[in-house]
Structure 1
């Protein structure tokens, strides 16, 4: 199976195209009856999380062969991030993403995911709160108190 387009998108950091690219390639492989033993399930799963598409991520997880889940810890780690997103465990997303030893192909992608996730949470907080305490910012944004205190929240008052 030719995964060069996936590897090119990863190396070029075109993360926003990976979900549809992987979906299309996996469908093509399935239609030809090709083996998917070397399929980049962790990349594919994270690509859906990157786009905040939890339903597609859940479907992919359920359709991922158990052998692949058991053999590749990165797939399970990405799914744990997805579970945290599903139940809105904001701090858990950062804990899992930063606490796992990602391979070289995934490390930059996970960092980019955390960056876009932190931006989403920042937008959510600035639109939802007129006052917020530092502990809540620490929890939602996955940062320490010093960074949370220095974080720019326009028209939002940080309470100690």
Structure 2
């Protein structure tokens, strides 16, 4: 199981650049597109989608399915993202990346919920994380979030983060933009 997606991404980008006639293999495109989504690099994913030759996208439904996930992420449609991830029977080596992508999206969502909400309904949490009710409750307990007696309301705690020694203006602007965008959607 490959977990160093940054290195794999570099290798795949090199394969794409060095491909004969400038056209890489469908597997290269599929893995690279999935890795861009894993890295939350939606701009590069969109540019890659636009430069994949039409004959490759039309003859490889997995690439189209990966891009469907990218479109859901682009629109910040979390329930749709999980539905799209579950709707396709992914093949290796893309399945490995897709599993990691799903976990990373879920982890980012849970961290954002912890930072953004003082209370949230279990149904909303289930919808935003793509987990079953039992799995969502288990995840809340693991994070030491308070669950009301009726089991309907969750009181999240912000994730513990080490204090940065220095935060650049770009980092602060990125975090603020991510937070505001999350609240608007």
Indicate the TM-score class for this superposition, using the shorter chain for normalisation. 0.7 to 0.9
Q: TM-score, normalised by structure 2?
A: 0.72
Residue matched to 1:99: 87
1:37 shift after superposition: 4.5
Return the match for 2:11 from 21, 28, 46: 21
Question: How far 1:105 sits from its partner (Å)?
Answer: 2.0
Larger Rg: 2
Q: Distance in 2 between matches of 1:116 and 1:138?
A: 16
Unaligned runs of 5+ in 2: 153-185
Q: Deviations over 1:105-151 (max 9, x none)?
A: 22222111111111111111111111010011101110111222222
- Output the CA distance in 1 between the equivalents of 2:112 and 2:146: 12
- In structure 2, the residue matched to 1:82 is 70
* Contact persistence 1:130–1:156 (CA under 8 A): no
Aligned to 1:66: 54
- The aligned length equals 148
Q: TM-score, normalised by structure 1?
A: 0.82
C-alpha distance in structure 2 between counterparts of 1:117 and 1:33, whole Å: 35
The alpha-carbon distance between structure 1 residues 84 and 38, as it changes in their structure 2 partners (threshold 3 A), is closer
Q: Which runs of 5+ in 1 are unaligned?
A: 1-10
Say which SS state the counterpart of residue 104 (structure 1) adopts. coil
The verdict on how the C-alpha distance between 1:38 and 1:114 changes in structure 2, with shifts beyond 3 A counting, is: closer
Q: Which of 16, 41, 44 is the matching residue for 1:53? A: 41
Q: Is the 8 A contact 2:2 2:96 kept in 1?
A: no
Cα contact 2:57–2:63 (8 A) shared by 1? yes
Q: Note the C-alpha offset of 1:38.
A: 4.6
CA–CA distance in structure 1, aligned partners of residues 60 and 95 of structure 2: 15
Q: Is the 8 A contact 2:16 2:28 kept in 1?
A: no
